[in-house]
Amino acid sequence: MQFSQGVRMAWKSIIANKLRTLLTMLGIVIGVASVITLVAMGNGTRQQVKEQMAGLGTNLLSVNISGRGAVSSLTVEEAEQLGKLDGVKDVSPVISGNVQAKYKTKNVNVTVEGITPSYEGVRNVHIQRGRYITGIDVAYRQKVALIGTGTAGELFGTADPVGAAISLNGNHYKIVGLLEQQGTSLGGSNDDKIMVPISAGSRLLQTKGVRSVYLQAEDDANMDSIELALEGELTRKFRGNTSGYNIFNQADLVETISSVSATLSNTLAGIASISLLVGGIGIMNIMLVSVTERTREIGIRKSIGARRRDILLQFLLEALVISGLSGIVGVLVSYGAAYFLTRSGTLAVMTWDTIALSFIFSFAIGITFGIFPANKASRLRPVDALRYD
Q: Which of 170, 162, 182, 198 is nearest to 107 (CA)?
A: 170
Q: Residue 174 — pLDDT band, cuts 50, 70, 90?
A: very high
pLDDT above 70 for 355: yes
Burial class (CB in 10 A: 0-12, 13-18, 19+), 322: buried
Instruction: Tell me the average pLDDT across 193-216.
Output: 91
The percent of residues above 90 in pLDDT, for the chain, comes to 27
Q: Residue 180 — pLDDT band, cuts 50, 70, 90?
A: very high
| Residue ranges of domains in the chain | 3-51+258-387, 72-237
303-324 pLDDT, tens digit each: 777 677 777 777 777 788 888 8
Q: Which of 336, 371, 333, 331 is nearest to 353 (CA)?
A: 331
Tell me if 354 sits within 8 A of 334, measured CB to CB.
Answer: no
State the pLDDT at residue 120. Answer: 92
Q: Residue 57 — pLDDT band, cuts 50, 70, 90?
A: low
State the pLDDT at residue 273. Answer: 72
218/186 Cα distance (integer angstroms): 25
Tell me if 286 sits within 8 A of 371, measured CB to CB.
Answer: no
